[in-house]
Amino acid sequence: MFLAIPALLLLLPWWTLVGATSSGAAFWLGTAIFLVGYVCLPAGMLLGHGPVQSDAASIVGDTLLGTMWVLFTCSVLGNIAGLVLALAGVPDPARSRIVAIGVLAVAAVAVAWAITEARRVPRVRRVEVPIRGLGAGLDGLRLVVITDTHYAALNRLRWSERVVEVVNGLQPDIACHAGDLADGSVAKRRAQVDPLGKVSAALGRFYITGNHEYFGDAPGWIEHMASIGWQPLRNQHEIVTRDGDGLVIAGIDDPTGTGLPGHGPDLPAALAGADPELPVVLLAHQPKQVADAVEAGVALQISGHTHGGQIWPFHYLVRLEQPVVAGLSLHGERTRLYTSRGTGFWGPQLRLFAPSEITVLTLRPEAAQ
C-alpha cells in the first residue's frame, strides 16, 4: 500500500499530461519528472513521519501528497470531459491536449487557492445550539472551539498568535481545544503552542487529546497544556456555573489512547458523580464517539478530527469512517454533535472546499416539547 497509493495518484496524471499527449524527448522528460515524484513522495512521508522525524522531509512529502491528490482529482474530471469531447467529435491529438492543458491549469489554480486557504487565519463560524435543561443563567453562554491545530514542521508561530487574538476578541466564556494539538514532541513544537497560554476565558479553558497526540508524546502534551493554564479533561468533568445555574463540561481521551497504559476513553468515569439534572457538554475528538454520548444522555458533543475532508473530495472517504464530516447534527432524541472542520491542517498545507474555522457555539435553552 505504501508504494501502491503513490503509484495510483501518479499514474492517471502521468497518462493525462504525458502519455496521451507527447512523444520523443518531451515524453521522456515528463516521465522522468513523474518518476522523481514517485520516489520523493513515499521517501518524504517515511522520513518525515517515521522514526527519523525529519521536518524538511515532512514538508516535501506532505506537499507532494496534497499536490498529487489535487492533480489526480483534476485528471479524473479531465478524462470525463475528454469523453464528452470525443462524443462531440473532437479528434485526437487535439482532444488529449485540450484535456491536458485544462487539467494542468485547473490543478495549478486549485493548489494555489488551497495553500492560501490553509495558511490563513481561520474564519469565525457562529452557531446557536439548543440545550435541553439549560438554566436561564447560562442562556447565551459562548464556547469558543479550536481543534486540530496540528502544529508541525512548518513554523506557524505568528499564525498561532493571530488565532489567539481572534479567540480573545470573541470574549469566550469557555475555551475548548478538541484535540490534535501538535505533531511532534513538546521540545520541537512548544514555541508554536505556547501562545495558547494567552487565551482568556472567564469560566475555563479545557483541552482533550486527539489521535495525533498518541502518535507522539501524549503525556508530555497533557502536562504542557496544564502548565500554560489549560485544564486537560482526561475522562473527567468540571461543573461551571453562572447566575446560579450549572453545566457539566466533560472530556474523554481519544480511542487511539487505548494502546497507552492508563489512557483511552471512559465516558462513565468522566460523568461519575455529576448531577444527572445538569446538561452535559462533552469534548470527544472523534465524531463517531457520539454513539456513547447518546447512550449517556449527553446534550452536546464537540468534536474535530475530520478537517471537513481538508482536500476535496476526500470528505467522501472520511464519511466512510465517521457519522458526520462537519457541522451541527442531531443524534438520538436529544444529543447534538458539533463537528468542527478544524483550525489548522494536517500534512499537506492545502485546504480545498473545506475552510478552517474558529467556532463560537452559543448555548440556548431548548424550548419544551
Alpha-carbon distance 322 to 328, whole Å? 14
Q: What is the pLDDT of residues 112-163, one digit of tens each?
A: 999 999 999 999 999 999 999 999 999 999 999 999 999 999 999 999 999 9
In the chain, helix, strand, coil percent, each to 5? 45, 20, 35
The confidence score (pLDDT) of residue 4 equals 87
The confidence score (pLDDT) of residue 367 equals 78
- Give the angle subtended at the CA of 327 by the CAs of 306 and 125, to the nearest 5°: 105
pLDDT exceeds 90 at position 300:
yes
pLDDT exceeds 60 at position 368:
no
**Do residues 346 and 148 make contact, with C-beta atoms less than 8 angstroms apart?**
yes
pLDDT exceeds 90 at position 51:
no
**Mean pLDDT, residues 71-79:** 97
**Mean pLDDT, residues 249-271:** 95
Peptide bond into 323 cis (omega under 30): no
pTM, rounded to two decimals:
0.94
**Mean pLDDT, residues 252-272:** 95
Alpha-carbon distance 54 to 140, whole Å? 46
The confidence score (pLDDT) of residue 216 equals 86
Instruction: Tell the burial category of 366 from Cβ atoms under 10 Å away from its Cβ (0-12, 13-18, 19+).
Output: middle
**Mean pLDDT, residues 165-181:** 98
Q: What is the pLDDT of residues 334-356, one digit of tens each?
A: 999 999 999 999 999 999 999 99
